[in-house]
Structure 1
Amino acid sequence: MLYYAEPVSRLIEELSKLPGVGPKTAQRLAFHLLNVPRTEAVALARSIVEAHDKTLYCSVCTNLTDSDPCRVCGDTNRDRSVICVVEEPRDVVAVEKTREYRGLYHVLHGALSPIEGVGPEQLKISQLMTRLGDPELREIIVATNPTVEGEATAAYLARLIKPMGIKVSRIAHGLPVGGDLEYADQVTLLRAIDGRREL
């Protein structure tokens, strides 16, 4: 049974395809969009189409960009001796927000997950391996997520890269600032102890 007008039902259906958006949230979003001025709805639709049409992968680091190479790869002031390997483009943003890291990046677009059928061929690992021939390169920082898939990806990359004589390091894992020890899981607490540093 059709409860809404056809265009509204279609809008709800399309919104519910977004990650983390269930039927109720899609319905709320649809009704919100129907109540905003038409100019706002058109601006949203145009920005979605423009982002889809004008966004591409950087030919160097495979990050999302609107120019090739991306701004980071094209910045001559970046430290070209180190590459930080991350899972997703949003991870680049997270590292950049620290304003401390000045090296380059490589985006894998996922992590190894045999259960989900994601192997090395589905990730941007071959593009990373091509970059390892740069004589300036001294270190690869593996900044994959602290999940089973992220750890498997980090171990796989280390096995590939270490024989080439390039230093491979892993970002530290531990307690977040403001966190309480009593609420930390055992693995996080163990990593925090293992990754301790002298004061």
Structure 2
Amino acid sequence: MLKKGLLGQVIQHLCCLPGVGPKTAQRMAFQLLQRNRDNAKALAEILLKALAEIGHCQQCRTLTEQTLCEICADPARELALLCVVESPADVWTVEQATVFKGRYFVLHGHLSPLDGIGPDELGLDALEQILAKGEVKELILATNSTLEGNATAYFIGELAVKHKVQASRLASGVPMGGELEFIDRVTLLHAFKGRRNIE
């Protein structure tokens, strides 16, 4: 594949997107430059505007162009429920998939001592200040079900205990419509450990 000139640079920079390899980046570049120049220009302009104006919500740390994001500014949200997630993308996912009406706290990662990511890098001091106010009654730990995500959830759970806040973890296991023969061993193990009574 040619990597010279502006076209090659566009293709290379598109490869920085998650899940986009050289072939996909090449198709995107040709689509934008060959057939869709108006949208390419609009995309470039909105990206520059977003980079200049989008920062972090002062309360939950998600991405927003305002001081407070729409969720934190919404007086109808439940102050007693706080959901801890790893990224702003997780906030969008939960909002689209559930009827959760509480607030969020975005970590921007997970504990990873090997990568130099400790409690300070995740803003856990700010989370502890929120818990210390006494408004939060339940802390929902929605970190990823990875080794690092579980370690992060455990650490935050200890903070919740310290401030006498009930902490819960998202259930994990067999997905809706899943067939046992296609479920991996770790997922099945979590499903058995997290089983509950039939109501």
Q: TM-score, normalised by structure 1?
A: 0.92
Q: How does 1:106-125 map to 2 (within 5 A)?
A: 106-125=105-124
Q: Secondary structure at the match of 1:91?
A: helix
Tell me how far 1:4 sits from its aligned partner: 6.0
**Compared CA separation, residues 81 and 24, structure 1 to 2 (3 A):** same
Query: What CA distance in whole angstroms lies between the structure 2 residues aligned with 1:152 and 1:124?
Result: 16
**Compared CA separation, residues 170 and 196, structure 1 to 2 (3 A):** same
Q: Secondary structure at the match of 1:121?
A: coil
Query: What CA distance in whole angstroms lies between the structure 2 residues aligned with 1:22 and 1:99?
Result: 32
Q: Which amino acid aligns with 2:101?
A: R
Q: Which amino acid aligns with 1:129?
A: E
Q: Secondary structure at the match of 2:117?
A: coil
| Higher deviation after alignment, 49-58 or 146-155 | 49-58
Report the count of equivalent residues. 198
Aligned to 1:157: 156
Determine if contact 1:112/1:120 at 8 Å carries over to the other structure: yes
Tell me how far 1:108 sits from its aligned partner: 0.3
Tell me how far 1:172 sits from its aligned partner: 0.7
Query: What CA distance in whole angstroms lies between the structure 1 residues aligned with 2:3 and 2:160?
Result: 56
Aligned to 2:134: 135
1:126 has 2:125 as partner: yes
Determine if contact 2:111/2:152 at 8 Å carries over to the other structure: yes
Deviations 1:107-141 (A, max 9, x none): 00111122333222221222211211222211111
Q: Which amino acid aligns with 1:19?
A: P
Aligned to 1:75: 74
Segments of 5+ residues of structure 1 without an aligned counterpart are none
Structure 1 segments of 4+ aligned residues over 3 angstroms from their partners: 2-5
Segments of 5+ residues of structure 2 without an aligned counterpart are none
Query: What CA distance in whole angstroms lies between the structure 1 residues aligned with 2:95 and 2:16?
Result: 30
Q: Which amino acid aligns with 2:21?
A: G
Query: What CA distance in whole angstroms lies between the structure 2 residues aligned with 1:37 and 1:194?
Result: 51
Determine if contact 1:80/1:103 at 8 Å carries over to the other structure: yes
Aligned to 2:9: 10
Q: Secondary structure at the match of 2:80?
A: strand
Q: Secondary structure at the match of 1:106?
A: strand
Determine if contact 1:84/1:106 at 8 Å carries over to the other structure: yes
Q: Which amino acid aligns with 1:64?
A: L
Identity %: 43
Determine if contact 1:62/1:124 at 8 Å carries over to the other structure: no
Query: What CA distance in whole angstroms lies between the structure 2 residues aligned with 1:138 and 1:3?
Result: 57
**Compared CA separation, residues 77 and 23, structure 1 to 2 (3 A):** same
Determine if contact 1:58/1:64 at 8 Å carries over to the other structure: yes
